[in-house]
Structure 1
């Protein structure tokens, strides 16, 4: 089923935030929600064999904890959003591997801004891997639910821009919110210090592709309020500031180096840590699918 929303769920307050966001999204779209829990016990069992054993066998003990955690989450979801179908899946694998694989069957994957794992500090590697390799857009929910502000899309001149803009426009339309599109060019230094870019302006030639993409969105979504800003500022700084008061910040991810998608861009990494609102990462591969 390609229209489902998958939530990476581990029972933490951060994954509860992710579930709450996903349920709101599902209520608007009619999509079912699937909670995916990665059971890493079989992977970690050799290291844990030295610890004192509980009354139940360790494997059964872990399974019962996971089951009760997921049952509580489903019960809460049915109370707050009774019309949203919610199912659960437990996968015996590392969290990143499980979520990337399940993303093939999803329209959207939602993660908490933090989470816990049996391996200390694993969240950073999990979130980086999932946002870089997922087969669908990924939303990382940060902090409390956002105020009813705009949906912000930070674009550049890469192949990811069209897919990002469509995703952002659809999100804004569904929320009846304005769309704020930002293209930020880093300040010019060195031998180019006397050019117009160094004075804080963007030339018409530089912004022409940006204006064309925004025009397509305005024509496609005539009822959507669109604000478009082309600025000379480091993209991470401009988008972090724009995230304050926004409902959602949409950015792109593209691969660098020999293996496409191996690394998440530095701007996206910064925003996943510092954005004041949830961040959606959309891949350039989605523009070509």
Structure 2
């Protein structure tokens, strides 16, 4: 049975864009959609009374999640939509919920107010620790019919590749596999790396990583690109031609203790399309 898609909403414009993306994703997967608003404990414990009203924060939160669920139901009548209001720490709630979902979808950041400003930090924390892929929606792009994925040969990027193939197949989109690389530092003044040889080695590595996935998803048209560039720069540039960018939570160059790497962080900040961050803690293709 396909696990549900979870989307976090907070009433901001960007969370509504996340809602639209998640609703479409649930329809593609034939999955249920859980529309979740997390009311931080400190707000729940301190009622808020806007001037001229008697609404407290919990009432306002209930309105936010109910309205979002209604929007989702109207846009995709065939999707089973359930609104949920949960009290707790937003990042901790979504990380815990990620154990029982095919994807967690969040807005890049809120648009004003104490609650809304949490969304940016929440997205980063959840992307770094969730068991399921986390899709952060800042800008919604469409019509490119292309999924972008960054790879570096690491186990983390292998999980990203698996999820990217699945998404490309669901969307009947081309898959753009991008490997960005730079010349290694010479061992001494007499050793000069051969760029063509290095590029050829990386191409073989990418083809090896793609082999099993191409057999599993023969319907996916794959475009492989190797480019000499900083990975973050290359991926951000390529995101302008994609409807979804997929990266691992951190690559070969990241410090082991970091939950999310610099490339993933940069893409979350500046990509021109939604970004999926995938960790290797569970098979991205299993739903």
Q: Tell me the TM-score range normalised by the shorter chain.
A: 0.7 to 0.9
Q: How does 1:61-76 map to 2 (within 5 A)?
A: 61-76=56-71
Give the conservation status (yes or no) of the 8 Å contact 2:147–2:168. Answer: yes
Deviations 1:217-258 (A, max 9, x none): 222222211111222211001111111120111100149657
Kindly tell me: are residues 173 and 2 of structure 1, through their superposed partners in 2, closer, same or farther at Cα, counting changes over 3 Å? closer
**Secondary structure of 1:6's aligned partner:** strand
For structure 1, the residue ranges without an aligned partner over 5 or more in a row are none
Deviations 1:100-136 (A, max 9, x none): 1111111110011222563574333211110000110
In structure 1, the partner of 2:238 is 242
In structure 1, the partner of 2:171 is 175
In structure 2, the partner of 1:156 is 152
Q: How does 1:1-289 map to 2 (within 5 A)?
A: 3-40=3-40, 42-44=41-43, 56=54, 61-115=56-110, 118=114, 121-189=117-185, 191=188, 194-197=192-195, 202-254=198-250, 259=257, 262-287=258-283
Task: Please report how far the alpha carbon of residue 93 of structure 1 lies from its aligned counterpart in structure 2 after TM superposition.
Answer: 1.0
Looking at structure 1, the residues matched to 259 and 93 of structure 2 have their Cα atoms a distance apart, in angstroms, of 18
Give the conservation status (yes or no) of the 8 Å contact 1:201–1:231. Answer: no
Deviations 1:29-64 (A, max 9, x none): 110100111111x32467x589999864xxx71111
Looking at structure 2, the residues matched to 156 and 282 of structure 1 have their Cα atoms a distance apart, in angstroms, of 14
Looking at structure 2, the residues matched to 50 and 86 of structure 1 have their Cα atoms a distance apart, in angstroms, of 28
Give the conservation status (yes or no) of the 8 Å contact 2:140–2:243. Answer: no
For structure 2, the residue ranges without an aligned partner over 5 or more in a row are none
Q: Which moved more, 1:144-153 or 1:82-91?
A: 144-153
Give the conservation status (yes or no) of the 8 Å contact 2:33–2:80. Answer: yes
Task: Please report how far the alpha carbon of residue 216 of structure 1 lies from its aligned counterpart in structure 2 after TM superposition.
Answer: 2.3
Q: Which moved more, 1:219-228 or 1:116-125?
A: 116-125
TM-score, length basis structure 1: 0.86
Deviations 1:141-178 (A, max 9, x none): 12133233311110112111222112111111111111
Q: Which moved more, 1:13-22 or 1:121-130?
A: 121-130
Looking at structure 2, the residues matched to 51 and 65 of structure 1 have their Cα atoms a distance apart, in angstroms, of 10
* Backbone CA RMSD of aligned residues: 2.8
Looking at structure 2, the residues matched to 99 and 210 of structure 1 have their Cα atoms a distance apart, in angstroms, of 33
Kindly tell me: are residues 30 and 172 of structure 1, through their superposed partners in 2, closer, same or farther at Cα, counting changes over 3 Å? same
Kindly tell me: are residues 114 and 39 of structure 1, through their superposed partners in 2, closer, same or farther at Cα, counting changes over 3 Å? same
Give the conservation status (yes or no) of the 8 Å contact 1:18–1:111. Answer: yes
Kindly tell me: are residues 188 and 71 of structure 1, through their superposed partners in 2, closer, same or farther at Cα, counting changes over 3 Å? same
Looking at structure 2, the residues matched to 61 and 120 of structure 1 have their Cα atoms a distance apart, in angstroms, of 17
Looking at structure 1, the residues matched to 141 and 50 of structure 2 have their Cα atoms a distance apart, in angstroms, of 41
